[in-house]
Amino acid sequence: MRVQECVLSDEVISADSAEAALWDAIVVPKEIKERLRNQTVLSLFMRRDLPFAVTALHGLCTLYGPPGTGKTTLARGLPAQIACYVPGGKVRRIEINPHGLMSAEHGQSQQRVSELLSEYVPGLASDGLPTVVILDEVESMAVARSAASLAANPADVHRATDAVLTVLDLNAAEHPHLFFVATSNFTTALDEAFLSRSDAAILVPLPGPEALREIMASTLLTLADKYPALGELARSSAIDHIAVAARGLDGRRTRKVVFEALAQRLDTVLDPGNLTEDDLADAVRNAVADTGLPEVSRATH
């Protein structure tokens, strides 16, 4: 695979872009969004005006936490959030698939990482436009070297991780308009030297009951545009109790559980407006059971 094929997207985004909806769609504590936004703007401004020797900023933020909590979507929505703070009001977003960089051939992973991040990506952003580079599931390219298995060719693992670290140092000094956002579901699999280069490591946790309620209600309200009866369910007090029962589900599964509820009965498949609080409570109960989470109190009325 050529390194160009590892670039999933390369586009310029403005503050009024439809991409702003990505950010709004993710239900997390506002402090998480504010910290990510502020860290990005600070890095772009500080690194533009001051040398790396002064700031020690690498232009890297790591979002970590369980799968399905919105880390990647937050990263994708970030450029639209910071566009209004940068000159020209536009930010480039480049999304990388790190998995494609890894190769079973001796030395190839290191070469690909170096070529992509030190040559190809800076080339895409050679106009100096503020650029957010997303490294999704970065643990595939910055493996914890201390835990590398002998069966996984640790020499190549070390070389690939070394290449990532070298490129981060290089870009920090030479390309202050680049800001990397890495996401990871398994921080224990990330190399310590990579984490030490993160200007901020931000936990994106599983949603609590209030967030779960908001996720379910917003999903129902979106459907209510076509099936008005679902609006009443979204605003009912039953959702509060169902959200408590959903504790432990991630945000992605919580949105899907609404559709799982619709699929339980042919009546609701044919007319989603017939969905009841009991249908939703049953779907949540099944979803929690599927995850192996312990039972919690589920007073759904």
Q: What is the pLDDT of residue 144?
A: 63
Q: What is the pLDDT of residue 45?
A: 96
| Residue 298 is assigned to a structural domain of this protein | no
Cα 98 to Cα 69: distance, rounded to the nearest angstrom: 20
Per-residue pLDDT at 294 exceeds 60: no
Same domain (yes/no): 176, 43: yes
Task: Please state the pTM of the whole predicted model.
Answer: 0.86
Same domain (yes/no): 271, 152: no
Which of 203, 238, 266 is a domain's end point? 203
In tens, the pLDDT along 247-257 reads 999 999 999 99
pLDDT bin (cut points 50, 70, 90) of residue 301 is: very low
Which of 188, 203, 218 is a domain's end point? 203
In tens, the pLDDT along 148-169 reads 554 555 556 677 888 899 999 9
Structural contact between residues 37 and 82, judged by C-beta atoms closer than 8 angstroms: yes
Burial label, 242 (beta-carbon count in 10 A; 0-12, 13-18, 19+): buried
Task: Give the range of the structural domain holding residue 59, as residue numbers without chain letter.
Answer: 3-203
Lowest mean pLDDT among 95-104, 223-232, 252-261, 290-299: 290-299
Which of 186, 203, 220 is a domain's end point? 203
What CATH number is attached to the domain comprising 49? 3.40.50.300
Q: What is the pLDDT of residue 9?
A: 94
Domains held by the chain: number? 2
Give the mean model confidence (pLDDT) for residues 274-287. Answer: 96
Q: What is the pLDDT of residue 162?
A: 87
Average pLDDT, the chain: 89
| Residue 300 is assigned to a structural domain of this protein | no
Per-residue pLDDT at 101 exceeds 60: yes
pLDDT bin (cut points 50, 70, 90) of residue 22 is: confident
* Residue among 119, 137, 121 nearest 129 (CA): 121
Same domain (yes/no): 131, 248: no
